[in-house]
Every structure is written in C-alpha cells, then in structure tokens.
Structure 1
Amino acid sequence: MSRASTSVMWFRRDLRLADNPALLAAAADGEVLPLFVVDPALWGPSGDVRRAWLLRSLRALDESLGGRLVVERGDPVRVLPRVAARAGAARVHVAADTGPHGRRRDEAVEAALAGAGVELVRTGTAYAVGPGSVLTGAGRPFQVFTPFARAWAAHGWPAPAGSPAGARWVRGGGEGVGGAHWPDEPDLGALRLPPAGEGAARERWRAFLADGLEGYEHDRDRPDLAGTSQLSVHLKWGEVHPRTLLADLARHRSAGAEAFRTELAWREFYADVLWYRPESAREYLRPQLARLSYSEPGETFRAWSEGRTGYPFVDAGMRQMRAEGWVHNRVRMVVASFLVKDLHVEWTLGAREFMRWLRDGDIASNAHGWQWVAGSGTDAAPFFRVFNPVAQGQRFDPDGEYVRRYVPELRHLPGRRAHEPWSAPDGYAHGYPERVVDHAAERRAALEGYARLRREAPDGV
C-alpha cells in the first residue's frame, strides 16, 4: 500500500477548523501539516494589541489541532519551500489573500514553490463573495455602497463548508507553539482583551443571536448599550467566516437581521474597493482632497490620541480604545471626524493610530472608513458632513453612561450633563481638561478650506 500524500495547510486569516474550504481541500489530499508563518513584514508594523490577539488565537487553534500546529518565523518565500520539502508535500493550500501585500506575497511564494515542484492552491477567501466578483452591468467595479450591496446580495454565496472530520494531522518536524519561532506576547499593561479563537467566536455569535440581534437595528448606534456583536475581531482573524453568519441570519426574518447583513456588506464593499484600488490603503481615493491644508500632528494630536480633547464623547472613545483595543463604530466616526475636521489632521495619521491600538484593525475597513469620514472616499457628497461631538454624544449616549464609564473625571455629572462639563459649576472639579478647540469655529474653517479648494481645483473635487 502506498503512503498517503501530504499537503501543507498554511493558515493566515482563517484561524479556524469549521467552514474552511482551504482546509477541506488540504485534507482531501491526505495527511495535513498545519502551519503558521510569523512574517516579519506583517509582525513588525502590527501594534501590540493585534500581536497579542493573534498569539492567543493561534494558541486556541493549536489546542483544537491537538498541539500539532507548526510555527515558523521568516519570509514565507523562503519558509514555505523549506517546510514543504521537509514534509514531502506536493501542495500548499491557502485561502486566497485579497489584500495588497498578501497578493504580492502569494505570487512570490507561488513562484518559489513552483521552482521546487510544489503547487500553491488557493481555495476561497475571507469574504462571503470574493473581492472582484461583483461588477456593474457595464462590467466595472462599484463606486457606491448601495448598488454594490444589492448586486452582492443578488450574487449570493455558497453554504458554509463542513469541518475536517477525520483529518490526519502531521507535525512535520518543525517548531510547535511555544517553540523557538514563537514570539513572546507583548505586555498590554492595563488593556484587557476578551477570549480569542474559534470557540470564543462561536460562543459570542450564539449569545448575540439570542440576546442582541432583535434589537440590533436600533441599539447598534448606542455605545452606552451592549448593542453590537463585537464580532469584527473574530472576522478579521478568520475565527469565524461571514458565510457562517449569513447562513444563520437567513433563518431570522427581522429588521435586526437585515441591518446586520448590511454591516457585513459594508465590510465586503471596502474589501472590493481595495481589490481594485490597492493604493487606497494609504493614499486618497480622491487625490484632490490631499491638497487641503492640514496641520502637523502636535500636542492637539496627542490630546486626541490620549482622550484629552475636552470633548467627553471623543475622549471616551479614545480611552475605550486604549482600555479594550476596540471602539464602538458610531464613536469611531465621531473621533475620526474630530481629528480631520476639527483638528485638521490628515486621515492617514488617524488610520495609523487606529491600526496601532485596535484588535480588529483591518486594512480595508479601517482605511476606507477613515476616507469616508475625511471626504476622500466612496461617499457621494462627503466633506460637508462634520460630526458635532456634543450633539452626537447627547443623541447616542443620552444618559451619559458611556462617557462616565471611560472618563472618571466626569462621573460626578449626572445624565446628559456629562457631555457638557463647561456648563456645570463643578464640571472641571476632578481634573477634566478644557476644550482644545472651539468646534463651531473649526467646522467653519474646515468648510471654508474645502470651498477654497473647490474654487482653485482645475479638475474639481
């Protein structure tokens, strides 16, 4: 009897066993060597929060593999041929990476493997509909979300894939979890993360379906409530696939389920935009906006990043990010608008700060979310939208609970008064800082700058 063939399953943003088509394809080949490569090109720029989450997620994956996950460190172009040769593997299986760096890396890995007689097999992506799959009737990429979402839903997606029951795992003689190639987990100080891994993702999803989905349509904009799923980090690392969530949502006919589907569509839209415009991860989708007058990041930028602007809703959001590695989406929009429109700092610097601190930092969603706020993204008439940080707080944190949770200097102010400490005789009694800028004046300055650009720009904005 001939020996079963061996394949390498190269895990990346798919740190799970269930609903993983690439893993099923690897298992169909025979024995599977499960591999993760700590790539310095990605590890180096990552913030400590994302590094910590990744390491914890990998430990959870290793546990589900019975301690068989092989961990290597180095450039995948050199690591993959070496591991494949060591295992005697004819194929390396992956879920396709659709990001700019991942596409370039995988092309280089594919060439290196081909030189060694090994095939790189791509099966599936991190999205329900692979980026680049949905086009307009004229065969062009979508530029606006709403028509994309309709076409995305009409395109549809396959049912969730099964689990690799009976898969035969091999170690391959490499470093396991905790070996020499395994980085030390960074010290996050007081920042606390929730449980990572596939099991935690499934548990979180089950809890949200039971307790959060019905009210999601209304509660998702309220940072004072536990109204969101907080699954973004699990989706970012592939601990659960959006196809799994969509299959469960199909069994719920409610406004909450539809609203959640729409949020998944936004994630897929931004990945699609990045697919066609890979430079938009760091450059302006509308390059004319780069000609606006921006301020150098100085003390006001530090005040923003540390939650010391004197605007409670903004400061609560930035402090939440440093305490939890996560920020409510409504608050993300408000703090981003404040940086760009009130402090006149370029969105690229804010996007970089988010990627430093967020556990769910995703290049497509982060960059294009910031561009949407900054007026350089996919929105049709974006720059005129300037979020009022006080009005937003009063509307979406009506009793001040969110502010008091993250800004202890204001816990003595009851109800809505927490949003306007300057209006209370004892508003600054516990050391809360005064406002770094006047919102009304900076809003006018931002709009005047945009109007001036429109007059001067020969190609329009």
Structure 2
Amino acid sequence: MPTSVMWFRRDLRLADNPALLDAVADGPVLPLFVLDPALWGPAGPTRRAYLGASLRALDEQLRQHRTRLSVVRGDPVRRVVLAARAVGAERVHAAADFGPYGRRRDSAVEAALAEAGIELVRTGTPYAVAPGRVTNGSGEGYRVFTPFSRAWSEHGWRAPADPPSGASWTVLEDGTTEIPDPAPPAGLELPEAGEAAALRRWEEFLDRVDAYDEDRDKPGVDGTSRMSVHLKWGEIHPRTMLAALARKRSTGAATYRKELAWREFYAGVLFREPRTAREYLRTEFARMAYDRPGTQLEAWQEGRTGFPVVDAGMRQLRAVGWMHNRVRMIVASFLVKDLHLEWQHGARHFMHWLVDADLASNQHGWQWTAGCGTDPAPYFRVFNPTTQGRKFDPGGAYVRRWVEELRDPERVPDPHDPDLETRELVGYPAPMVDHKAERQEALDRWEAVR
C-alpha cells in the first residue's frame, strides 16, 4: 500500500480527526509538523511556548503507537514536498485552513506537490461547519451574529469521528529537528497542553456548564471553560464539545453553544473579508481622528491606567497569557473609547501575549468592541470601567487577585474606585483620564465621520 503524509497544523490530536482517518486508510502514515517561520516568528513567546508543549504531547501519544512526530523547519512549500518524496507518499492529508495566510500557503503547497505527482487532500476543518457554508437567502455570508447563529444551528454538523485503529506508521530518517521547547516569558504560567489535558478540562467544565449562563461574566469566579486554547490548537474539535452539549438541556449549555457559534461566525467573516485581519470591516471608521500611541498605550499594556478592572485584566494577561472575556471587552473599550487609539494596537498586543490568540476571533472581537465590526449600531456603546467592575466583580475578588496594591481590604475598602488618599498610601496610580470627558470626546469624533 502507498504511504501518505498526515500534515498536522491546527489539529494536534488523534481522536475526531477526519484527515488522519483518511491518511490511515491510504496505508502507512508519516505524522508531520512543519515549523513555518512565517507563523513561528510572529506568534509571540506565549503561543510559541504552548505550541512546543502541545507538539510534545502529540509526540508522546504517537510514541504509544510506536512512532513519533517528524518535525521539520522551513517553508512548507519546500518541506512538505521533500517529506512526501522521502517516504514515497502519493498523498498529503490535512484539514482545510480558512485563514488568509493558510489559504495562500496551501495553494502554493498544492501546486508544488502536483508538480511532484503528489496530491494534497483536504479533509475536515477546525470548525463544526466550514466557513462560507452557512449563508443567507441570497447566498451571502452573514454580517450579524444572531441570524447566523440560527442558520448555523439549523445547518447542523457531523458526529465526532472515531479515533484511528489498526494504523501503521513511518518516520522521516533525515532532515528533522527537535521539537522546540522555548521557555514561557518570565513568571508566566501556561495551562497544561495536549489532547488528554483538553479532554480532562472539558469533562471538568461539563460538571458545571449548567451554571455557565449565570457565571460566565464574573471574572472573579471559575465560571468559564478555559477551552479556547485547546480549540486554538485543535487539541479538541468543536464537534466533540457540541455532541456533549447536545445531551444537556440547561440554559448554561445553550449559552455555551452560542459561544462556539461566535467562534465560527468570526471565522466566516474573516474568510469572506481577509483584509479585516488588519483593516476596518466598516471602512468609514478608518477616517476617524485617533491619537498617536505613546505613554498611554504603554500604561495600558502594563496595567497602570488607574482603573482597577482594566489594570487587573492587563496584568492577568501578562501573568497567565489569558484574560476573562468580559474583561477583554472592558480593556478594549477603554483603549479605543477612553484613550482614542486604533483597535489594531490592542489587537496586536493581544496576539503577542494570548496563549489562545486566534486571528479571526481576536481581530473581530476587537472590532466589535471598537464599533467598527459586525454590529449594526455599536459606537455609542462605551463601557464605564468602574461600573463594569462593580457589576461583574461586585466583591472585588478579581481586582484584588491581580492588582497587588489593592489586595488588602483593610487598607483598600473599595477596590473598584479607591480615593486619591488611598491610592497614594498603597502606591496605586490615579486614573489616567476622566472617563466621562473621554466618553463624550469619543462620541464627538464619531459624529464627525457619521
């Protein structure tokens, strides 16, 4: 039987992996991962460290099957062809990539393989429903979430695929490199990586998913799933999660299913509008007056704005490479509406530090909050960081955990809006802006381009 290549990318798992099943059906399989400099370099230290850990976890799984992950470094257009030739493969199997770079890369790899008489076979995607498949009555993609969510649910998805059985394997003998093991940034704690860790985390969350609708907006409690990083790297497929949620009848499970729909909605928007990875979806907002980044951006990045919930979020990001989603919206609104900086500055910082940084979800989550994305009437929605903190962190547990200066309740009775005397006492900065004045300034700038 001919050999085939399983080219792993954002599907670092063995179970529920249709591309891997197709490769196994061909005959002996070479498990391959390409360290692509175009992706490895810009990934940021947090994602590089996690990816290395996830690759090692996948390699350990494969070694239980008496094989290993062959890792090569370089341009995939060259390295995939060389690997396929080395093992005499007739086909290279991979899950389809719908991102702007991934589509260009795969087209170039497909052409190079074809010249060598080798076929690139795309099977499955990182999504329950492939981007571009859910369309409205006119055959166009949705730009508003709610109708997309309904159509996505009505479309449905396949059941999870079985793990491979009876597979035979092969490895590359030459030209491979060690799986990278970069240290995470100093002081940063990464979650456990790999398919087994993803499944354990998912099972743990299922025990409390019924409370998700009530707890998901409370950053001070463990109310979210923390599955985003496992979805980012494909250590679990959303089909697996949706199948488990289908057995639940709670409001919490239904709300969580909508969060998975948001991920697929944003993937579809980026698929149709690849320019929005860097540019405004609603192009009129590019004409708005924005301030130049400087010391205010640095204070925001370092969690020194003087607004406790904002600073808590930014410090959490640097400590664990993750931030609660409600707080992501608060800090994004503050950057765009209070500091009048373009959303790209914040999105770039998130992409650098977030362990779960997903291009579609990150860029369009930022644009949603900034008011220039997929929302019909958004710009006058300006989050007040103090009232948001009081509402969603009423006891102050989240702020006290991440803002060390405000940790002592005896010295700081009100962690969300300590008075100036208290701030001086504990060494916490005064608010860097007047929120009320900056909110009006943001609305005035919006009026100028309406």
Using the size of structure 1 for normalisation, the TM-score is 0.95
The one-letter amino acid paired with 1:440 is K
Question: Distance between the aligned counterparts of 2:406 and 2:7, measured in 1?
Answer: 49
1:194 CA displacement = 1.3
1:413 CA displacement = 3.3
1:421 CA displacement = 1.2
Question: Distance between the aligned counterparts of 1:386 and 1:422, measured in 2?
Answer: 23
1:426 CA displacement = 2.5
The one-letter amino acid paired with 1:283 is E
1:279 pairs, out of 261, 275, 283, with: 275
Q: Aligned with 1:200: secondary structure?
A: helix
The one-letter amino acid paired with 2:397 is E
Residue 457 (structure 1) aligns with: none
Aligned positions of 1:29-44 closer than 5 A:
29-44=26-41
Gaps of 5+ in 2: none
Q: Aligned with 2:34: secondary structure?
A: strand
1:412 CA displacement = 2.0
Residue 5 (structure 2) aligns with: 8
Contact 1:222 1:397 (8 Å CA) reproduced: yes
Residue 111 (structure 1) aligns with: 111
1:187 CA displacement = 4.2
Question: Distance between the aligned counterparts of 2:187 and 2:77, measured in 1?
Answer: 37
Q: Could you list the per-position Cα deviations for residues 34-65 of structure 1 after superposition, in whole angstroms to 9, with x for gaps in the alignment?
A: 00000000011110000001000000000000
The one-letter amino acid paired with 2:354 is L
Q: Could you list the per-position Cα deviations for residues 111-164 of structure 1 after superposition, in whole angstroms to 9, with x for gaps in the alignment?
A: 000000000000010000000001101111111100000000000000000101
Aligned positions of 1:214-233 closer than 5 A:
214-233=210-229
Q: Aligned with 1:315: secondary structure?
A: helix
1:188 CA displacement = 1.6
After TM superposition, the structure 1 stretch with the greater mean CA deviation from structure 2, 408-417 or 427-436, is 408-417
1:184 CA displacement = 4.3
1:311 pairs, out of 288, 307, 312, with: 307
**Number of aligned residue pairs:** 446
Structure 1 position 391 matched with structure 2 position 391: no
1:45 pairs, out of 32, 42, 51, with: 42
RMSD of aligned Cα (Å): 1.2
Contact 1:70 1:175 (8 Å CA) reproduced: no
Residue 458 (structure 1) aligns with: none
Question: Distance between the aligned counterparts of 1:438 and 1:102, measured in 2?
Answer: 43
Q: Aligned with 1:45: secondary structure?
A: helix
The one-letter amino acid paired with 2:222 is A
1:165 CA displacement = 1.6
Aligned positions of 1:87-102 closer than 5 A:
87-102=87-102
Q: Could you list the per-position Cα deviations for residues 66-119 of structure 1 after superposition, in whole angstroms to 9, with x for gaps in the alignment?
A: 051000000000001100000000000000001000000000000000000000
1:428 CA displacement = 3.0
Question: Distance between the aligned counterparts of 1:357 and 1:426, measured in 2?
Answer: 31
Structure 1 position 353 matched with structure 2 position 363: no
Gaps of 5+ in 1: 455-461
Contact 1:400 1:416 (8 Å CA) reproduced: no
1:5 CA displacement = 1.4
Using the size of structure 2 for normalisation, the TM-score is 0.97
Aligned positions of 1:266-415 closer than 5 A:
266-413=262-409
Q: Could you list the per-position Cα deviations for residues 314-345 of structure 1 after superposition, in whole angstroms to 9, with x for gaps in the alignment?
A: 00000000000000000000000000000000
Question: Distance between the aligned counterparts of 1:184 and 1:420, measured in 2?
Answer: 42
Question: Distance between the aligned counterparts of 1:106 and 1:50, measured in 2?
Answer: 22
Structure 1 position 255 matched with structure 2 position 251: yes
Question: Distance between the aligned counterparts of 1:135 and 1:222, measured in 2?
Answer: 34
Structure 1 position 199 matched with structure 2 position 202: no
Contact 1:421 1:428 (8 Å CA) reproduced: no
**How high is the sequence identity, in percent, across the aligned residues?**
62
Residue 133 (structure 1) aligns with: 133
1:32 CA displacement = 0.4
Q: Could you list the per-position Cα deviations for residues 202-253 of structure 1 after superposition, in whole angstroms to 9, with x for gaps in the alignment?
A: 000000001x201000100000000000000000000000000000000001
Contact 1:70 1:174 (8 Å CA) reproduced: no
Residue 14 (structure 2) aligns with: 17
The one-letter amino acid paired with 2:275 is E
Contact 2:160 2:239 (8 Å CA) reproduced: yes
